[in-house]
Chain A
Amino acid sequence: MINQFSKKIDALRKSKIAFHSIDRIEFKSIYLQYPTNDDAGMSRAKDKIVFQEMSFNFPTDENILIEGSMGSGRSSLLKLLAGLVIPTRGSYFINDCDFAQMSFEEFLPYRLYIGYAFDYGGLLANRTLRDNLLIPLLYHNQMKSSEAEARVKGMLDVFKITGHENQRPASVSGAMRKATVVARSFILHPEMLILDDPFVGLDDEQGKNIVELIGVHRRQYGLRHVFYTTRYERFVKMLGGRSIVLANSKITGLEKEDVRRPA
């Protein structure tokens, strides 16, 4: 048993060493179904099928807007990309590795290269806003406390959270919580950034700061792939890039560069 453990750990170390960057993002025959949340049998709701036989080779190195009507599965698609939802069937390839077949530990090296911002919630309620940004840096033992503190301070300044950083999420406004969630998605300097409605509840200045931060991370910190959803045209215009349209439980196509959006 101990030998099996050590083999697993060796494999994990090797996979971390071998992993350099995300070059290929592909879905193959993805089927995603959410079971009804009804143990008591009091609801008549049926299991919800979100995606059926969805295959798609995602474009890389650009900003991709996910479009679709309400309930079309935009958030589910982003969660799948972030590895937060395991597909019911099918394969999700990052480079040559199938996420659907990987354990949490095996996917960890990839996960550290993916930043994800929730559309709502997602902050640790019993920690301050500062701790919410600090924990990912300290947990992974990647840097000294002083370096982590400096990075968090920079992020607090960009998102105008400074002055409220020692409050818990319940004590601050919704905009502040949203800003913290978006800030956290940048904190590990991801290569792939996934933003689920990042501009909701934020003012124009904070929205512009996010757009600028994406540019800064592209130039300085190795950010390559950005997937996002939003209903605000002004930010879509600022970010540019192409869009993926979701309908009928599938990706119906990749829109060409839109005239309304300068690249």
Chain B
Amino acid sequence: MAMILSYFDEVGHRLIKTVSYTLSVLQMVYLSCRAALFDQAQGMRTVFSVVSAQIYFTGWQAMPLVTILALASGAIIILQSTAQLNLIGNAAFVGNLMVMIIVRELGPLMTALIVIARSGTAVSSEIGNMRANREMEALESVGINPLSYIVFPRILGGVLSVLCLAFYFNVIALIGGYLVTRFMQDMPFSFYAESLAQAFSFEDVEVFLLKNSFSGMIIFVVCCYQGMLVKQSAHEVPQVTTKAVVNSIIYVTGFNLIVTTLFYLNKLMVLGII
């Protein structure tokens, strides 16, 4: 009995911790948006310079890595699926498979993981070091709210970068992947393009926007929050960075899973199965 009670105690403790963490993160988002959008005294020019820098580091500099991963993923899925579909005589379904796997699932997840690995760690450690080096205090001392000057532009730049990177990933995986496999199989491009065009629907755009915008927000909000948790010493920076990466991966994959589940439940309801 004592063991069961201690188990429930542990579960309850973790649940409270998770809820309070989420509420604190949401509070930071609210305060940073309020500070950035409602503070009439500040000029937006300095904020936008930080946004553009964030887009450059997160979006532009990640493009070579995204290109390689998108080409490889697209090519692998085309090769594997055409081999299997040809066996059952349904090669025209390659478009459906590509849209389902690349656009709805792999694109958002791979992009998010790349951004977490490259930029999430960078943002978290940068903000952590700024806390340790008293740069946040310095900003406050001249009346600059760190939430509007440091946090808000990073979240905004991060969300825009993730959306653009995910779009780029999809295009490269769908088109580039085909071009790479062109040397190994003889599927005509017109056949492949028609199959893709038939597979696309408006729902894919909705899922794309929903998954990528929220993934971007989750990554940068969690990483900024973890960075802000540094109190005064540089030895805390690697600790918060590790936690930022772990929490971002858990939240992003969890969010993607929930959206996918709801999407397919909705499909089943439309078809009248449930």
Contact = CB atoms under 8 A, between A and B. Distances in A.
B231 interface: yes
Contact of B141 (A9, A16, A82, A104): A82
B135 A124 contact: yes
A5 B34 contact: yes
Contacts, number: 96
Given A5-B34, A37-B231, A105-B35, A139 B133 contact: no
A122 B231 contact: no
Given A13-B40, A37-B233, A105-B39, A84 B141 contact: yes
A121 B134 contact: yes
Contact of A139 (B126, B144, B231, B236): B144
Interface stretch (B42-50, B160-168, B175-183, B253-261): B42-50
Interface in B42-88: 42-43, 45-46
A124 B133 CA distance: 9
Contact of B41 (A83, A140, A184): A140
A152 interface: no
B232 interface: yes
Contacts of A136: 142-144
Given A82-B141, A122-B137, A135-B144, A9 B40 contact: yes
A217 interface: no
A108 B141 contact: no
Given A37-B232, A112-B143, A139-B144, A123 B138 contact: yes
B129 interface: yes
B149 A139 contact: yes
A8 interface: yes
A122 B232 contact: no
Contact of A140 (B135, B141, B143, B233): B143
Contacts of B144: 135-136, 139
A122 B143 contact: no
B96 interface: no
A181 B38 CA distance: 29
Contacts of B242: none
A116 interface: yes
Contacts of B34: 5
A139 B232 contact: no
A44 B138 CA distance: 30
Interface string A77-88: 001001110000
Nearest to B53: A126
A77 to B, nearest CB: 15
B247 interface: no
B138 A111 contact: no
Contacts of B133: 121-122, 125
B172 to A, nearest CB: 31
A141 interface: yes
Given A111-B143, A139-B149, A16 B45 contact: no
Given A8-B38, A111-B140, A188-B142, A139 B46 contact: yes
A235 interface: no
A123 B135 contact: yes
A121 B239 CA distance: 22
Contacts of B142: 111, 135-136, 139, 184, 187-188
A126 B49 CA distance: 13
Nearest to A110: B143
A93 interface: no
Interface in B119-151: 126, 129-130, 133-135, 137-145, 147, 149
Contact of A84 (B126, B135, B140): B140
Interface in A28-75: 37, 39
Nearest to A84: B137
Contacts of B137: 79, 84, 118, 122
A175 interface: no
Nearest to A184: B142
Given A108-B39, A124-B135, A136-B143, 7 more contacts: A9-B40, A16-B41, A111-B143, A112-B143, A121-B133, A123-B135, A140-B43
9 contacts: A5-B34, A37-B231, A105-B35, A108-B145, A118-B134, A120-B134, A122-B133, A122-B138, A125-B130
